[in-house]
């Protein structure tokens, strides 16, 4: 299974990606998680990316393409992978097409998870993330058993700096301007599968599996 999850911030890509990668035994490649790890470790790339991320803007294409090209060439991607949060621009999608053809592999499909803006904003502003294992929760929809503590690893939960209302709105705007054109890009290649993302976790999961298999 070689696939991409597309969808606005808050569509549930991360949660669905966790479920899909567990089912298919493939690596979950989340460029957002990779960048947050680099910020945490204060690497030169992390320091550069942080300014873009905190304002809700995209990190420059050349940085992102380099990270993903290196990650896809690793052995654990030989039997498949799931990309979550990449590509996010047409330039990234075109670079991905080149990377994959260089590796002599192709995509099975691209799932586009669609959710209305008002729901997305509620999901983003209520989201909490584990600082240790990156598991996600929601203060109302999916609270942890103990407030502020991750059910899976006991790590401390925090609110992402880019999940405040103002930055969340900017991220939705950036999505519409820079990422929505990918729907057309992958439709033309016959790879796109549209999925409604507000029908419940298990239902969305079944629909994505059905669409990609």
- Residues serving a catalytic function are 13, 88, 127, 160, 171
Exposed e or buried b per residue across 159-179, where buried means at least 16 C-beta atoms within 10 angstroms of its C-beta: ebebbeeebbbebbebbeebb
Which residues in this chain contact ligand AMP in the complex, by CB under 6 A? 9, 31-32, 35, 52-53, 56-59, 64, 85-86, 88, 92, 162, 171
Q: Which is nearer to ligand AMP, 31 or 150 (CB)?
A: 31
- Largest interatomic CA distance in the chain: 47
Q: Which two tokens stand for residue 113?
A: 């998870």
**Number of Cβ atoms within 10 Å of the Cβ of 24:** 17
H-assigned helices in the chain: 13-24, 31-40, 44-55, 61-72, 90-102, 117-126, 165-174, 181-188, 201-212
For the bound state, the minimum distance from the C-beta of residue 193 to ligand AMP, rounded and expressed in Å, comes to 20
For the bound state, the minimum distance from the C-beta of residue 15 to ligand AMP, rounded and expressed in Å, comes to 12
Closest among 31, 121, 108 to 70, alpha carbons compared: 31
Q: How many CA atoms lie within 13 A of 30 on its CB side?
A: 19
Distance CA 63, CA 58 (A): 11
Q: Which is nearer to ligand AMP, 52 or 205 (CB)?
A: 52
Residue sitting closest to ligand AMP (CB):
32
For the bound state, the minimum distance from the C-beta of residue 4 to ligand AMP, rounded and expressed in Å, comes to 11
Q: Which is nearer to ligand AMP, 65 or 104 (CB)?
A: 65
For the bound state, the minimum distance from the C-beta of residue 198 to ligand AMP, rounded and expressed in Å, comes to 18
Q: Which is nearer to ligand AMP, 26 or 92 (CB)?
A: 92
What's 127's DSSP letter? E
């Amino acid at each position: 299974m070689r696939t991409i999850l597309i969808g606005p911030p808050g569509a549930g890509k991360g949660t669905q990606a966790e479920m899909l990668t567990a089912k298919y035994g493939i690596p979950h490649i989340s460029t957002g998680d990779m960048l947050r790890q680099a910020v945490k470790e204060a690497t030169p790339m992390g320091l550069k990316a942080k300014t873009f991320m905190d304002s809700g803007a995209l990190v420059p294409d050349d940085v992102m393409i380099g990270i993903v090209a290196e990650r896809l060439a690793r052995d654990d991607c030989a039997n498949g992978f799931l990309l979550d949060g990449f590509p996010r621009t047409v330039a990234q999608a075109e670079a991905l097409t080149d990377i994959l053809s260089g590796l002599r592999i192709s995509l099975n499909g691209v799932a586009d998870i669609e959710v209305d803006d008002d729901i997305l904003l509620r999901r983003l502003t209520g989201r909490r993330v584990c600082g240790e294992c990156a598991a996600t929760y929601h203060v109302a929809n999916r609270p942890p058993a103990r407030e502020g503590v991750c059910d899976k690893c006991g790590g401390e939960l925090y609110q992402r700096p880019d999940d405040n209302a103002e930055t969340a709105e900017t991220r939705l705007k950036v999505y519409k301007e820079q990422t929505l054109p990918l729907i057309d890009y992958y439709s033309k290649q016959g790879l796109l599968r549209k999925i409604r993302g507000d029908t419940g976790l298990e239902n969305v999961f079944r629909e994505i599996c059905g669409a990609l298999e």
